[in-house]
C-alpha cells in the first residue's frame, strides 16, 4: 500500500479513502491511485484489514455430514447468498460429532468469522453460544435462534399422502432418538396419522442415525420384527434410499408391496427406481433467510424463521394392494 501511495504521489490514508470510498476525493487523485493499484497489481491484505477493523467478511458454516447430499446443496446455497453480499464462507464438517463441532466452532471464531451458521451435530446439548452471532440451521438445539423448514408440516404432508392413498399399516424410520422426544418431522407424521385414526405400533418405529446403512438395517429390522405394513415413512432421504435398497434385496416390491416416502428431496431421490416420493426442503430459501438474519445489523437474532416444504410425488408410492384407496371409498378426494 505504501508502494501504491508513493507511485500515486499521495499518502496511504488517501489510498485507503479511494479504495474504500470512505471519504470524498478529487477525481484526478482517484484516477492516479486507481492507476497505481492496477499497475502494481496491489491487493489489500485481508489479515491486516481484519485486525484493524475487527470484521472479516466471512461467515462460518458448520454442517454435520458432507456425505449427505442435502448439506452440500445447502452449503452451495449459503455460499451463493453470502457471496452476493461480499462474504466468503468457511465450511467445516462436524461428522455429527459434538466434540468436533466444538473444535470447529472455536477455530472458526478464532479465525475471525463475523457470524456462525451451524447445523447442530446430533449429540449437541444445551444452547450453542459463541462470541459472534450464531444461528442454527435445519436442526433445533436449546435456545439457539433457528432457521428451518416447517418440518411438522412436511411430516404431515407425507403422512397425509399415505392415508389419502388408503394406507393404514404404516412403519417409520424415525432417525435419531432424542431422548424420547421425537423430531418435528416424526411428530408431524404421527399426529397426522392419529388424526386419521391410524395408530402407530411401537415396534413399527425404528430409531437410528441418518445414513444409508442405517436405512437398510432399519428396513430389514422392521420387515422381520413387525411385518405387515404397507407403507414406510423415512425421516430423510438417505434412510429412505437405504431402505429402498434393502426392500429390493428382500424381494419386497416398491410400491406394489410397500409404499415409501422420504424427506429432503436430495438429487438422487429422483434417480432411484422407482423414483422416491419425498418432501422437498427449500434449501435456497433457508440459506437466504439465514444469511439475511445473520447479517442484519439489527439481528436481535431471536427470530425463528420457518420455510415451507412441498410434497414431490414419484413412483415409490401407490395405493395398497389390499385395501381400496380412500378416495374410492368416498373420502375427500
Residue 221 burial (C-beta neighbours within 10 Å; 0-12, 13-18, 19+)? middle
Of residues 186-225, those binding a second copy (CB under 8 A): 212
Chain CA centroid to CA 333, Å: 33
d(CA 140, CA 297): 23
Q: Is 88 in the site for a second copy (CB under 8 A)?
A: yes
Q: What is the dihedral of CA 69, 74, 75, 80, to 10 degrees?
A: 130
Strand partners, 134: 116
- Among 130, 46, 147, smallest CA distance to 88 is for 46
Q: Closest separation between CB of residue 76 and a second copy, Å? A: 5
- 12 lies in the binding site for a second copy (CB under 8 A): no
Under rule CB under 7 A, residue 19 binds DNA: yes
Q: Which does 329 bind (CB under 5 to 8 A by kind): a second copy, DNA, none?
A: none
- Is residue 230 a contact partner of residue 326, using CB atoms and an 8 Å limit? no
Is 52 a binding residue for DNA by CB under 7 A? The answer is yes
* Rounded least distance, CB 245 to a second copy, Å: 5
Query: Alpha-carbon distance 66 to 179, whole Å?
Result: 25
259: which 3 cell numbers? 409404499
- Please state, in angstroms and rounded to a whole number, the distance separating the CA atoms of residues 136 and 147: 6
- The yes or no reply on residue 43 touching DNA (CB under 7 A) is yes
Q: For residue 66, state whether it binds DNA (rule: CB under 7 A).
A: no
44 binds a second copy (CB under 8 A): yes
270-299: contacts with a second copy (CB under 8 A): 271-273
Q: How far apart are alpha carbons 78 and 59 in whole angstroms?
A: 10
- Identify which of residues 41 and 197 has a Cβ nearer to DNA in the complex: 41
43 binds a second copy (CB under 8 A): yes
**Site for a second copy contains 253 (CB under 8 A):** no
> Which of 178, 106, 158 has its CA nearest to residue 264?
158
Q: How far is the CB of 107 from a second copy (least distance, A)?
A: 6
Binding footprint of DNA on the chain (CB under 7 A): 1-2, 9-17, 19-20, 22-26, 28-29, 42-45, 48-49, 51-53
Binding footprint of a second copy on the chain (CB under 8 A): 43-48, 50-51, 56, 58, 66-67, 69, 72-73, 75-76, 79, 88, 90-93, 106-107, 109-112, 212, 241-242, 244-245, 248, 267-268, 271-273
Amino acid at each position: 500500500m505504501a508502494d501504491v501511495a508513493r507511485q500515486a504521489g499521495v499518502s496511504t490514508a488517501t489510498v485507503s479513502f479511494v479504495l474504500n470510498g470512505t471519504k470524498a476525493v478529487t477525481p484526478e487523485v482517484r484516477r492516479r491511485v486507481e492507476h497505481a493499484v492496477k499497475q502494481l497489481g496491489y491487493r489489500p491484505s485481508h489479515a491486516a484489514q481484519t485486525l484493524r477493523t475487527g470484521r472479516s467478511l466471512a461467515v462460518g458454516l458448520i454442517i454435520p455430514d458432507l456425505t449427505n447430499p442435502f448439506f452440500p446443496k445447502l452449503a452451495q446455497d449459503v455460499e451463493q447468498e453470502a457471496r452476493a453480499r461480499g462474504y466468503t464462507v468457511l465450511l467445516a464438517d462436524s461428522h455429527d460429532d459434538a466434540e468436533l463441532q466444538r473444535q470447529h466452532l472455536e477455530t472458526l471464531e478464532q479465525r475471525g468469522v463475523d457470524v456462525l451458521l451451524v447445523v447442530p451435530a446430533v449429540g449437541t446439548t444445551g444452547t450453542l453460544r459463541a462470541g459472534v452471532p450464531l444461528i442454527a440451521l435445519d436442526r433445533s438445539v436449546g435456545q439457539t435462534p433457528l432457521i428451518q423448514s416447517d418440518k411438522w408440516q412436511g411430516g404431515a404432508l407425507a403422512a397425509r399422502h399415505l392415508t389419502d392413498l388408503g394406507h393404514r399399516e404404516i412403519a417409520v424410520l424415525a432417525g435419531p432418538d432424542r431422548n424420547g422426544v421425537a423430531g418435528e418431522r416424526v411428530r408431524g407424521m404421527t399426529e397426522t396419522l392419529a388424526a386419521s385414526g391410524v395408530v402407530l405400533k411401537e415396534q413399527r418405529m425404528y430409531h437410528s442415525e441418518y445414513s444409508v446403512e442405517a436405512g437398510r438395517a432399519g428396513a430389514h429390522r422392521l420387515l422381520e420384527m413387525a411385518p405387515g405394513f404397507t407403507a414406510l415413512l423415512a425421516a430423510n432421504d438417505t434412510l429412505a434410499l437405504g431402505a429402498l435398497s434393502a426392500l429390493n434385496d428382500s424381494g419386497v416390491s416398491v410400491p406394489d408391496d410397500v409404499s415409501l416416502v422420504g424427506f429432503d428431496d436430495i438429487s438422487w431421490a429422483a434417480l432411484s427406481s422407482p423414483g422416491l416420493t419425498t418432501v422437498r426442503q427449500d434449501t435456497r430459501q433457508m440459506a437466504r433467510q439465514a444469511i439475511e438474519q445473520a447479517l442484519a445489523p439489527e439481528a436481535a437474532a431471536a427470530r425463528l424463521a420457518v420455510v415451507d416444504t412441498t410434497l414431490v410425488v414419484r413412483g415409490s408410492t401407490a395405493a395398497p394392494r389390499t385395501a381400496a384407496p380412500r378416495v374410492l371409498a368416498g373420502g375427500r378426494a
